[in-house]
Amino acid sequence: MSDTPVNVTVTGAAGQIGYALLFRIASGQLLGADTKVKLRLLEIPQAVRAAEGTALELQDGAFPLLAGVDVFDDPKAAFSGANVALLVGARPRTKGMERGDLLEANGGIFKPQGEAINSGAADDIRVLVVGNPANTNALIAQRNAPDVPAERFTAMTRLDHNRAVAQLSAKLGVPVSEISKVTIWGNHSATQYPDLIHAEVAGKNAAETVGDQQWIADEFIPRVAKRGAEIIEVRGASSAASAASAAIDHVYDWVNGTPEGDWTSAAIVSDGSYGVPAGLISSFPVVSRNGRWEIVQGLEIDDFSRSRIDASVAELAEERTAVERLGLI
Ligand SMILES: NC(=O)C1=CN([C@@H]2O[C@H](COP(=O)(O)OP(=O)(O)OC[C@H]3O[C@@H](n4cnc5c(N)ncnc54)[C@H](O)[C@@H]3O)[C@@H](O)[C@H]2O)C=CC1
Ligand SMILES: O=C([O-])CC(=O)C(=O)O
């Protein structure tokens, strides 16, 4: 075990995802059981007291891997020396809103945070944006951090990925552990494309095993893409523990690598692969090797998939134009 703790900055630390996330980080699930962590919590001034309360509870957990907790209301201080940054703090949507409705409200948060990461984070900084609209918030942060390699900025579509795996598992009555190579393409929004065409169930093609294209098109895809709204409707608040769990999965895989023979989904800066314009932060099938995400190459994209991917990517391009007009990038 290394004695030098990894600095993990979490924004929105007093929020519902923060509460579900921090204890899992402290217990070693974000980086691994051999890695000590130091938590740096960022909140707005009105919520600092609540974050301090969470810090007291973290202390009460007596976590062997937790080397300390500090609470900040200043992004520059919070990101100083950060090795991992989880950008969760943002306004969640409520019933009837689309995630894009949050662009202006939340865009203003991610520009100063990108600037603070640029000026003070550690050289190996890795950023995961969870706060919605996650892809475009990540783009705002990345574009305001010109000295940080663009590949270090990612947005979370792992929750969508996990939802897709779980829906397929329920449909076929197989354990999630038998499902591999599911892909989420595009935006973390209702236009996302959960793709089963290359997915496998116990080594066999998933779409063929389902054998019901109508279920895939009319039930599976909308169920996964609109699951966030379903949770808001049923729970009365947006997904929290499942979102925290997906954030843990994303960073753990990024740092420790994805298993051989499988891939996962993450929104990363496009290099132009699969016709996604370079520079957009879009979800792809990815593996992590040597601490870096790589887009899985060479997948055949049929007409059905092409039109779905294009629609979601068009939405990302529109969001980029909107934040350009707002002067955020
Ligand atoms: N990418 C994904 O899959 C998912 C994303 N989300 C998004 O995550 C975000 C957080 O969700 P919740 O924790 O449920 O919301 P919440 O409202 O419970 O917590 C948000 C916290 O962020 C804080 N905050 C606001 N502005 C801040 C700033 N400038 N700096 C630091 N902290 C700030 C607030 O004070 C609050 O404590 C929302 O945008 C939500 O839509 C939620 C679920 C899944
Ligand atoms: O839907 C929301 O607003 C929260 C979210 O991103 C999700 O649950 O996927």
The answer to whether residue 326 sits within a structural domain is no
Q: Which of 113, 188, 174, 105 is nearest to 143 (CA)?
A: 113
In this structure, how many other beta carbons lie within 10 angstroms of the beta carbon of residue 282?
Answer: 30
Q: Which one of 155, 180, 197 terminates a domain? A: 155
Tell whether ipTM is more than 0.85.
yes
Residue 103: what pLDDT? 85
Three-state secondary structure call for residue 310 = helix
CA atoms within a 13 Å half-sphere pointing along the CA-CB vector of 219? 10
Closest residue to atom 8 of ligand 2, CA basis: 228
| Tokens (6 digits) for 80 | 């100083």
Q: Whose CA is nearest to atom 6 of ligand 2?
A: 228
- On whether both 142 and 265 belong to a single domain, the answer is no
Record the tokens describing residue 320, joined without a space: 């980029």
Confirm whether 167 is domain-assigned: yes
Tokens of 172: 């076929």
Report if residue 324 sits inside a domain: no
Binding-site positions read 12-18, 93, 99, 106, 113, 130-132, 163
Confidence (pLDDT) at 68 = 98
CATH number at residue 7: 3.40.50.720
Contact (Cβ atoms closer than 8 angstroms) between residue 251 and residue 291: no
Which ligand 2 atom is nearest residue 99's CA? 3
Give the chain's domain count.
Answer: 2
- CATH number assigned to the domain comprising residue 190: 3.90.110.10
Per-residue pLDDT in tens (0 to 9) along the chain, 329 residues: 668 999 999 999 999 999 999 999 999 999 999 999 999 999 999 999 999 999 999 999 999 999 999 999 999 999 999 999 999 999 877 888 777 778 888 888 999 999 999 999 999 999 999 999 999 999 999 999 999 999 999 999 999 999 999 999 999 999 999 999 999 999 999 999 999 999 999 999 999 999 999 999 999 999 999 999 999 999 999 999 999 999 999 999 999 999 999 999 999 999 999 999 999 999 999 999 999 999 999 999 999 999 999 999 999 999 999 999 889 99
The pLDDT value given to residue 1: 65
Residue type, 23: F
Q: Residue 282 falls within a domain, yes or no?
A: yes
Query: How many whole angstroms from 229 Cα to the centroid of ligand 2?
Result: 7
Ligand positioned closest to the Cα atom of 44: 1
* Same domain, residue pair 64 and 145: yes
Do 30 and 59 fall into the same domain? yes
Q: Do 150 and 184 sit in the same domain of this protein?
A: no
Whether 328 is covered by a domain: the verdict is no
131 and 8 part of one domain: yes
H-helix or E-strand spanning residue 193 = strand 193-195
In a domain, 327, yes or no: no
What's the burial of 16, exposed, middle or buried (CB within 10 Å: 0-12/13-18/19+)?
middle
DSSP 228-274: HHHHHHHHSS---HHHHHHHHHHHHHHHH-PPTT--EEEEEE--SGG
Asked whether residue 115 falls in the same domain as residue 247, the answer is no
Range of the domain at 209: 158-319
Query: How distant, in Å, are the alpha carbons of 50, 168, 255, 289 from that of 179?
Result: 40, 8, 22, 21
Claim to verify: residue 143 and residue 220 sit in the same structural domain: no
Q: Return phi, psi of residue 199, to 5°.
A: -70, 155
Instruction: Looking at the structure, tell me whether residues 187 and 151 fall in a common domain.
Output: no
Domain shared by 33 and 115, yes or no? yes
Do both 182 and 303 map to the same domain?
yes
Please state, as a whole number, how many other Cβ atoms lie within 10 Å of the Cβ of residue 216. 20
Catalytic residues: 188
Query: In terms of Cα–Cα distance, which of 170, 179, 175, 151 is closest to 266?
Result: 151
What token pair was written down for 144?
A: 């305001």
Residue 185 in any domain: the answer is: yes
**Do strands 281-289 and 292-295 pair parallel, antiparallel, or not at all (unpaired)?**
antiparallel
- Comparing CA positions, the residue from 62, 56, 250 lying closest to residue 162 is 250
- Residue 268, pLDDT score: 99
Same domain, 173 and 114: no
CB of 228 sitting under 6 A from ligand 2: yes
Domain boundary among 105, 121, 155: 155
**Same domain for 178 and 134?**
no
Please say which residue of 92, 125, 155 terminates a domain.
Answer: 155
Residue 304 placed within a domain: yes
